[in-house]
Amino acid sequence: MFKTLLARARQGYRTAAYPTQEPVLPALFRGRPELDPTKCAEGCRECVDACPTGALRVTEAGLELDTGRCIFCEACVSACPEGAITFTRDWRLASSRRDGLTVTGDERPKVDALGRELRRLLGRSLRLRQVSAGGCNGCEVEANALGNVVFDGSRFGIEFVASPRHADGILVTGPVTTNMKEALLMTYEAVAEPKLVIAAGACAISGGLYRGHAEACDGVEGLLPVDLYVPGCPPHPITILDGLLRLLGRI
Amino acid sequence: MVFATTRNATPLPIAAIPVMEVGGFRRDVLAAIDAGGRLLLLTGLPGNGGETRLLAGIADDARGEVAVCSTVVANAYPALTPDCPAAHHFEREIAEQYGIHPEGHPWLKPVRFPPGGPTIGDAEFFSVAGSEIHEVAVGPVHAGVIEPGHFRFNCHGERVIHLEISLGYQHRGVERALRGGPDRRSVHLAETAAGDTTAGHAAAYCQLLEGLADRECSPRANALRAAAIELERIANHIGDLGALAGDVGFLPAASYCGRLRGDVLNLTAELCGSRLGRGWIRPGGVAHDIGPDQLRDLNKGLSEAERDMRNAVDLLWKSSSLRARFENTGVLHSEAAAELGMVGPPARASGIDRDVRRDFPEALYRDRRPSISLGENGDVFARALQRWREIEHSVAFLIEVLDDPGSGPAVSAIPALVPNALVLSLIEGWRGEIVHLAETDATGRFSHYKIVDPSFRNWFALAYAMRGQPIMDFPLCNKSFNLSYCGHDL
């Protein structure tokens, strides 16, 4: 017992002060991308051809990057001869709308807080049932980190629960494999109304790296109504936390 | 016996692989295993004329060699499993992927339920008969942030007679998508074969590519790759120790270890920008070199993490109630572990002396490598202690590497790949032996790509370890293996 208490003192207080203080992120962290289309040469498609997930496209209005498809690999940055693409260290990537994930310049995605009535119903807690629907377990690893003492989602009442019956919504990861589709829909069905859907990671938003695969459904689009999109491959825990806090109107 | 011999990441001309008649193939593969060889893999390969080739790789761990031979089969062949249990899952996979019947296989069932086959869950599950027997079905959605899988426990009271594990829910077509490469997606597909083993699978893929291109990375790039793999090992092992503590309700150690796992992931992120090591290991080397400041910070961060890990883990070993739950739970004896062809920390915890870093070191671990330790009892306690020992060895190794990370460019260009060749690439990931296999066509592109995640071999070992256990010990046994669903399902 004494040793356990001593260890407690030694291990110290480790909870990050987010959102009152900015998070400490590594120098090489790849966050919100910014484009400078004025630098693009006429007819250049180097970045589009280099992108492994088809996140970039050239429209009549110019270059577009879809963070819902992006895996933040920076292949485009290496390919671009003009330095038109940069990945900033901004961790705030979540959006309430799918089209809010399209980047054409230096715009920031927006999260609309839930309505007053829904927030009243939720009180001070948000309980989510996580559904891993295909994918690589990367998003699950980072979603799990919300439960550790550093990110400590329970400070804000955010917790993952064992049953959809106990949940206010589901957090979906993975491209929704054909083999998981039914289980995902049944889990959603089992959550009581009103319920939220959060799509975390490129796979859940768009199919990500597995987009177009016969074995998967290109994410939750068209299957479930999404309230929050959290881009990343995988999203950093602070990106997920930030998105959830904005959804709850806490930031 | 007719075998072609190859080594880790050494291409073999396809024409040099002996093609035997099926009876001789079976006899020689079994004889090689009887003589002390280990079934590294058994897989189907599509032939040019629509036929299927079976390829067997037999590892000689002492010499670091793999003996390879093949045969051509039409619709059926005599199964190897009755004489070589380690082949059981490989033969199920062959039946599922190629529609070839391994005659005499004691227990054929779907592996991944790919499109075009039976609907997932629509299978004849093994069940135990008797009026006092009951079944407990769990999953695919589990109570936690966990990947999906279906478990069926055949129980007599609280005692599990047999656990049936049915996976495939994460099947997303990784191997199929790698065919025709290398292309802009390939390295990312490798990194996400199992996302918590990003460094391990990326290293296996890049090593395979470099083998086919007959290029070796600079000593510095190899040192940094080894650092990526060992950091991944430390992070996952300490996370597992925390999860084990959490499963028996010992929350102080669970929360310290959970935090420390994150601290080690953050060390990885300082070096490459991603906590999981995405975008670090790249064909020809590593994408990010390490600067003197980073070296100093990493050294400091690692020493601090090591001190705190030791402090947290000491709580585990000194708690008698925790030891009472860990000891003699989920015992897997070395004979069973060897017969099942187990790999990784659970195999070593059962006394199976097997580690790619020593047995097939290639460039990565040729000059220096972590010490390798073995357990004896094969219980949950042994698997936990094994993880801690591996953390200690990896930390010591990393400090040695960081002291002298070698020289040379971080990354160098890769020339065209050898055409018409077969290559095997082996890496000891944190879960155990990762095998990537590729065959190139006449233009040097992948005509076939195959991944064997360590979980592919070890899932059945978990089922085996559960026999006779009280069902309440399943979470503990499961965590002590902590196998990958996505690495198995691909």
**pLDDT tens figures, B120-179:** 988 888 888 888 999 999 989 988 899 999 999 999 999 999 999 999 999 999 999 999
Q: What is the 3-state secondary structure (H, E, C) of chain B?
A: CCCEEECCCCCEEHHHCCEECHHHHHHHHHHHHHCCCEEEEEEEEECCCCCEEEEEEEEECCCCEEEEEEEEECCEEECCCCCCHHHHHHHHHHHHHHCCEEECCCCCCCCCCCCCCCCCCCCCCCCCCCCCEEEEEECCCCCCCCCCCEEEEEEECCEEEEEEEECCCCCCCHHHHHCCCCCCCHHHHHHCCCHHHHHHHHHHHHHHHHHHHCCCCCHHHHHHHHHHHHHHHHHHHHHHHHHHHHHCCCHHHHHHHHHHHHHHHHHHHHHHCCCCCCCCEECCEECCCCCHHHHHHHHHHHHHHHHHHHHHHHHHHHCHHHHHHHCCCCCCCHHHHHHCCCCHHHHHHCCCCCCHHHHCCCCCCCCCCCCCCCCCCCCHHHHHHHHHHHHHHHHHHHHHHHHCCCCCCCECCCCCCCCCEEEEEEEEECCEEEEEEEEECCCCCEEEEEEECHHHHHHHHHHHHCCCCEHHHHHHHHHHHCCCHHHHHC
Residue B48 has pLDDT above 80, yes or no: no
Q: Nearest CA to A188 among A234, A216, A225, A222?
A: A225
- Token couple for B117: 């086959």
Chain B interface, best mutation among A3, A8, A142, A179, by max B CB count within 10 A: A179
Query: Which long-range contacts (C-beta less than 8 Å, at least 24 apart) are formed by B334-337?
Result: B334/B378, B336/B461, B336/B464, B337/B378, B337/B461
Show me where the domains of chain B are located.
4-103, 174-454
C-alpha distance from A67 to closest chain B C-alpha (Å)? 16
CATH of domain B4-103: 3.30.460.80
Distance CA B230, CA B95 (A): 36
**A135 and B194 in contact by Cβ < 8 A?**
no
A138 contacts A180 by C-beta, under 8 angstroms: no
pLDDT, mean over chain B: 95
Which chain B residue is nearest to residue A217, measuring alpha carbons?
A: B172
pLDDT, mean over chain A: 95
Buried b (16+ CB within 10 A) or exposed e, B317-336: eebeebeebbeebbbbebeb
ipTM for the complex shown? 0.96
Side-chain-side CA neighbours of residue B480 (13 Å): 33
**pLDDT tens figures, A189-222:** 999 999 999 999 999 999 999 999 999 999 999 9
Q: Which residues of A fall within a CB distance of 8 Å from B193?
A: 136
Chain B interface, best mutation among A88, A182, A215, by max B CB count within 10 A: A215
**pLDDT tens figures, B378-408:** 999 999 999 999 999 999 999 999 999 999 9
Instruction: Decide if A150 touches B, using CB distance below 8 A.
Output: yes
Distance CA A137, CA A130 (A): 12
Span A25-50, average pLDDT: 94
CA dihedral B337, B339, B344, B350 (to 10 degrees): 20
Span A170-185, average pLDDT: 97
Residue B185 has pLDDT above 80, yes or no: yes
Q: Which residues of A fall within a CB distance of 8 Å from B259?
A: 11, 14, 148-150
Distance CA A124, CA A106 (A): 34
**B146 and A140 in contact by Cβ < 8 A?**
yes
- Token couple for B153: 């426990």
Distance CA B428, CA B203 (A): 10
C-alpha distance from B144 to closest chain A C-alpha (Å)? 6
Select the more confidently predicted residue: A88 or B121.
A88
How, if at all, do strands B281-282 and B446-452 pair?
unpaired
- For residue B373, the model assigns a pLDDT of 94
Residues contacting residue B475 through CB under 8 Å, at least 6 positions apart = B247
Span A156-182, average pLDDT: 96
**A28 and B193 in contact by Cβ < 8 A?**
no
- φ/ψ of B191, rounded to 5, equals -60, -30
Indicate the residue type of B85.
P
Of the partner residues B168, B172, B272, the one whose CB lies closest to the CB of residue A28: B272
Of the partner residues B148, B266, B484, the one whose CB lies closest to the CB of residue A183: B148
**B173 and A8 in contact by Cβ < 8 A?**
no
B383 contacts B375 by C-beta, under 8 angstroms: yes
B226 contacts B307 by C-beta, under 8 angstroms: no
Distance CA B361, CA A145 (A): 33
Q: Looking up tokens 């990861």, which residue turns up?
A: A173
- For residue A111, the model assigns a pLDDT of 96
- φ/ψ of B171, rounded to 5, equals -70, 120
Q: Nearest CA to A31 among A75, A84, A90?
A: A90
- For residue B294, the model assigns a pLDDT of 93
Under 8 Å CB pairs connecting chains A and B tally to: 169
Chain A interface, best mutation among B96, B97, B119, B141, by max A CB count within 10 A: B141
**B2 falls in which pLDDT band (50, 70, 90)?**
confident
**B1 falls in which pLDDT band (50, 70, 90)?**
low
Q: Nearest CA to B379 among B429, B414, B344, B328?
A: B328
B420 contacts B440 by C-beta, under 8 angstroms: yes
Distance CA B124, CA A215 (A): 22
The 3-state DSSP class for residue A232 equals coil
**B262 and A179 in contact by Cβ < 8 A?**
no
Of the partner residues A75, A132, A179, the one whose CB lies closest to the CB of residue B184: A75
Instruction: Decide if A214 touches B, using CB distance below 8 A.
Output: yes
* Structural class in CATH, domain B174-454: mainly alpha
Share of chain B above pLDDT 90, in %: 93
Instruction: Decide if A28 touches B, using CB distance below 8 A.
Output: yes
Residue B476 has pLDDT above 90, yes or no: yes
**B170 and A135 in contact by Cβ < 8 A?**
yes
Of the partner residues B169, B278, B485, the one whose CB lies closest to the CB of residue A233: B278
**A138 and B140 in contact by Cβ < 8 A?**
no
C-alpha distance from A11 to closest chain B C-alpha (Å)? 7
**pLDDT tens figures, B245-292:** 999 999 999 999 999 999 999 999 999 999 999 999 999 999 999 999
A234 contacts A201 by C-beta, under 8 angstroms: yes
**A234 and B196 in contact by Cβ < 8 A?**
no
Instruction: Decide if A133 touches B, using CB distance below 8 A.
Output: yes
Q: Looking up tokens 């004889």, which residue turns up?
A: B31
**A137 and B261 in contact by Cβ < 8 A?**
no
In chain A the domains, ranked by start, together with CATH numbers, are 116-247 (3.40.50.12280)
Distance CA A100, CA B472 (A): 46
**A137 and B484 in contact by Cβ < 8 A?**
yes
**pLDDT tens figures, B419-434:** 999 999 999 999 999 9
Residues contacting residue B408 through CB under 8 Å, at least 6 positions apart = B217, B218, B219, B220, B221
User: How far, in whole angstroms, is CA B344 from its chain's centroid?
Assistant: 7
Q: Looking up tokens 């129980």, which residue turns up?
A: B155
Which chain A residue is nearest to residue B114, measuring alpha carbons?
A: A215
Distance CA A55, CA A39 (A): 19
C-alpha distance from B61 to closest chain A C-alpha (Å)? 30
- Token couple for A161: 């629960």
Distance CA B80, CA A70 (A): 45
Distance CA B237, CA B222 (A): 22
Residues contacting residue A9 through CB under 8 Å, at least 6 positions apart = none
Distance CA A141, CA B197 (A): 11
pTM above 0.90, yes or no: yes
Q: Nearest CA to B414 among B183, B224, B210?
A: B210
Instruction: Decide if A128 touches B, using CB distance below 8 A.
Output: no
Which chain A residue is nearest to residue B113, measuring alpha carbons?
A: A179
